[in-house]
Amino acid sequence: MSAFHPPLRPTPPASQAPIAPRTISPLDTPGVPASPLAFPLDAADTAARVRQALLEDEAFNDVSTLATVVSTRHVRSAIVARRGGVVAGVPLAIEAFRQLDAGVTIRVEAEDGTRIGAGGTVLALTGHARGMLSAERTALNYLQRLSGIATVTRRFVDAVQGTGARILDTRKTTPGWRTLEKYAVRAGGGTNHRFDLRSGVLIKDNHLAAIGGDIALAVLRARQLAMPGTPVQVECDTLVQVEAAVAAGADGVLLDNMTLDALRQAVGICEGRVITEASGGVTLDTVRAIAETGVQRISVGALTHSAPALDLGLDFDGL
């Protein structure tokens, strides 16, 4: 879970992705997926979270649908991409439809982590019209939000391809959604930074202010308190702080809002002894130049806090 280790669950090479779409029939045991990208929730947790979302939407008391659609009406439908992107959240969407219609048959055309073009199908469904209509918004909320994160992440990953730099997320996540949003980052090919405040030490500017700016003392105290093996990283605004962090034996430095020249100098100071990570105001327009300074990690808060939803819709083949 640290910033200094490989991703918790790396995205597999494209060659390992499923070739043939899978079909989930009403007799299948509900479960979390056959995708090579490991989903972070088990079947019980997935079901519980989705049910809570359906209850929040009063999906079991959908007055509009009950008033207009007869209970015996069966339809075919598909979740279709209006714009291209990377898919994430398929297990949650499947669960939403199955909770409203246990007899629904679903063909998965695009698993999590798959690039999809405009007009491409994510899921094809056959079942009760009422169930599909009542589950539609919850299923799309999960898919659009998580696919949006995966799509933005993939753009950043593509932008630094060949430099050796990894794209990391941050803790700037939606409360209650961190597990899913960090999963979506992995679906887009990114790497997870520390998952929470316990899984890694990051000594930031306010921590240093509270200890009189003494980086050596801050690192020492972190080593004494944290579990053995917990990585210790120091946020640095200046090259003097970088030198102090290296001397103190930190595992990594977070180079905050530094110029490209300063980043290159910081990489030289660390000389492979300390992991270097750039952060602060990183955009698609600037990320390539940042990566070319030689930093090993680039953290981007926008992956989770500013990613626009991927435009997906549920199209019915007539009612």
CA neighbor of 298 nearest in space, from 257, 268, 244: 257
Residue from 62, 95, 169, 235 carrying the catalytic annotation: 235
User: Count of CB atoms within 10 A of residue 86's CB?
Assistant: 27
pLDDT in tens, 191-207: 999 999 999 999 999 99
Rounded to whole angstroms, the Cα distance separating 253 from 262 reads: 13
Rounded to whole angstroms, the Cα distance separating 102 from 129 reads: 12
Cα dihedral value 123, 129, 131, 136, nearest 10: 50
**pLDDT, mean of residues 137-156:** 98
What band does 311 get if pLDDT is binned at 50, 70 and 90? very high
Residue from 137, 155, 171, 288 carrying the catalytic annotation: 137
The sign one gets for the Cα dihedral 6, 9, 11, 12 is: positive
CB 276 within 8 A of CB 121: no
The sign one gets for the Cα dihedral 73, 21, 111, 45 is: positive
CB 301 within 8 A of CB 138: no
pLDDT at res. 13:
44
pLDDT at res. 16:
45
What number of helices (H) and strands (E) belong to the chain? 11, 13
pLDDT in tens, 10-63: 444 444 444 578 998 888 876 665 566 889 999 999 999 999 999 999 999 999
Beta-strand relationship, 74-81 and 312-316: antiparallel
Residue from 95, 109, 136, 256 carrying the catalytic annotation: 256
H helices of the chain, in order, are: 43-56, 63-68, 90-100, 129-159, 178-187, 205-210, 215-225, 239-248, 260-270, 287-291, 302-305
pLDDT in tens, 230-288: 999 999 999 999 999 999 999 999 999 999 999 999 999 998 899 999 999 999 999 99
DSSP 3-state of 61: helix
pLDDT in tens, 84-117: 999 999 999 999 999 999 999 999 999 999 999 9
Instruction: Scan for tokens 């009063």, then name that residue.
Output: 58
Q: What angle do CA 196, 201, 205 make, to 5 degrees?
A: 105
**Average of per-residue pLDDT values in the chain:** 92
Residue from 73, 198, 204, 273 carrying the catalytic annotation: 204
Residue from 9, 51, 172, 264 carrying the catalytic annotation: 172
What band does 4 get if pLDDT is binned at 50, 70 and 90? very low
Please state the length of the chain. 319
DSSP 3-state of 273: coil
Q: Is residue 182 annotated as part of the catalytic site, yes or no? A: no
Burial of 70 by CB count in 10 Å (0-12 exposed, 13-18 middle, 19+ buried)?
A: exposed
Q: Is residue 204 annotated as part of the catalytic site, yes or no? A: yes
C-alpha distances out from residue 319 to 72, 83, 104, 127, 167, Å: 11, 25, 16, 12, 45
pLDDT at res. 37:
81
